[in-house]
Amino acid sequence: MAKKAQSRAPKDATPRTAVAVLAAISVCHMLNDVIQSLIMAIYPMLKEGLALDFAQIGLITFTFQATASVLQPLVGYITDRYPTPYSLVVGMGSSLIGLVLIAYASTYVGVLIAVALIGMGSSVFHPESSRVARLASGGRHSMAQSIFQVGGNFGTALGPLLAAFIVLPYGQGSIAWFSVVALLGMMLLVSVGTWYGKTLKRNKAAPAAEHEAIVALGRRKVAISVALLVTLTFSKHFYLVSITSFYIFYLIHTFDLPVQTAQLYLFLFLGAVVAGTVIGGPIGDRIGTRRVIWWSILGVLPFTLALPYVGLFGTAVLSVIIGVILASAHPAIIVYAQGLLPGRVGMVAGLFFGLAFGIAGIGAAFLGWLADQTSITFVYHVCAFLPAIGLLAAFLPETDKPKQPRRQKSSARKAS
């Protein structure tokens, strides 16, 4: 009996990937992002129905981005100190209330309140669900983050399509039908919350080992590294918003494409982003997150520089390559930052997801202004140089975090 117990111990000590939990949290991420992507997809309907001007439309975006981005680090900081397994359900509930309100909103103030509630739901969801993904990773942190984030990518792509085929034909009230999406998410998150609570109790001592990394690097080096990651996130998302917000206009202006055809090229790019998110995670676990960050942001530079000078076919090919390479960076950045700040998993996720939202909002406004002042082609010539900021990745310390699970596995095999 003693020998059996000893042989079992190393295997039990090896963390296991909770596949069902990762799948559930990824699906919930998809549902969450479907809900939030509906907001911008129904702008034309709101503008016409409530007689809004462009400044008021901009304030709707600002209200959503502010609640969805500014609150995320704060939520992450609080839940790091006081983990709340069922806060995910509460966050999705906030989005549910926002959906119902926006479906029946007859005033501009009502719309602002509704999008604020959806933004608040998103600000709770992202930090906590990122922590769940890390807990369920079994040590394969990059892979888990990529699975979690790819759900959001699908949701972002699905939102406009659902708006086009359901909301626009059936009117503003049909948005209430998507409350079913929020209810489904809440049911899944109840199960996830139960698993999350049990896992927290079992893993109370787990974060202690991670603190060795921050002690080895020193606080000053950690602070510089986080600042570098913030700058790299700016580079990545500022370029991405130039595609997601203005790619259709660029294709129409440059190649005289009809709107429907240009939309197909945009969906091709969004598909490449999904593929890159999936591919980047396992690669990060294998070769290290620092190398993925370096390769994905700086490695895309030759393709972004070439994009404004090629024909339609070349534009399609380069956009796919850019989407795949650039999308692999976000899971790696979050996992790398979480390794630098042990015990601050939620705050880190909230900070970088919040940055993604905030940069997208600011970037879209600035690039729109720049396009008005110059041309849409000039915007792509300028943005082509943004990935050069990836050179800063050279100053990130090598943590070798991804190799740790494999050492654990090999030691477990030797012990058995």
CA 345 to chain centre: 15
Answer yes or no: do 73 and 219 share one domain: no
Q: 291 CB contacts (<8 Å, ≥6 apart)?
A: none
Give the position of tokens 């983050």.
145
Answer yes or no: do 119 and 142 share one domain: yes
pLDDT (0 to 100) of residue 159: 76
Q: 230 CB contacts (<8 Å, ≥6 apart)?
A: 351, 352, 355
What are the pLDDT digits (tens) for 120-154?
Answer: 998 888 888 888 888 888 888 888 888 888 888 88
How many residues are present in the chain? 416
Give the position of tokens 């439309």.
57
pLDDT surpasses 70 at 353: yes
pLDDT (0 to 100) of residue 9: 40
pLDDT (0 to 100) of residue 138: 84
* Mean pLDDT value across residues 43-49: 80
pLDDT (0 to 100) of residue 1: 43
* Mean pLDDT value across residues 219-232: 85
Candidate from 37-41, 227-231, 381-385 with smallest mean pLDDT: 37-41
- Average pLDDT over the chain, rounded to an integer: 81
Domains contained in the chain, number: 2
pLDDT surpasses 80 at 409: no
Here the CATH number for the domain that contains residue 196 is 1.20.1250.20
Residue type, 142: S
Answer yes or no: do 127 and 80 share one domain: yes
Answer yes or no: do 34 and 161 share one domain: yes
pLDDT surpasses 50 at 411: no
Which pTM was predicted? Answer: 0.72
pLDDT surpasses 70 at 374: yes
**pLDDT bucket at 400, cuts 50 / 70 / 90:** low
Question: 333 lies in which domain range?
Answer: 210-406
* Mean pLDDT value across residues 303-329: 92
The span from the CA of 383 to the CA of 380, in Å, is: 5
Answer yes or no: do 150 and 248 share one domain: no
**Sign for the pseudo-dihedral over CA of 59, 63, 68, 71:** positive
pLDDT surpasses 90 at 92: yes
**Better-predicted residue by pLDDT, 2 or 178:** 178
Closest CA to 145 of 29, 290, 234: 29
Closest CA to 340 of 205, 206, 200, 215: 215
pLDDT surpasses 50 at 82: yes
Whether 413 is in a domain gets the answer no
Answer yes or no: do 259 and 355 share one domain: yes
pLDDT (0 to 100) of residue 405: 46
Give the position of tokens 């999308």.
327
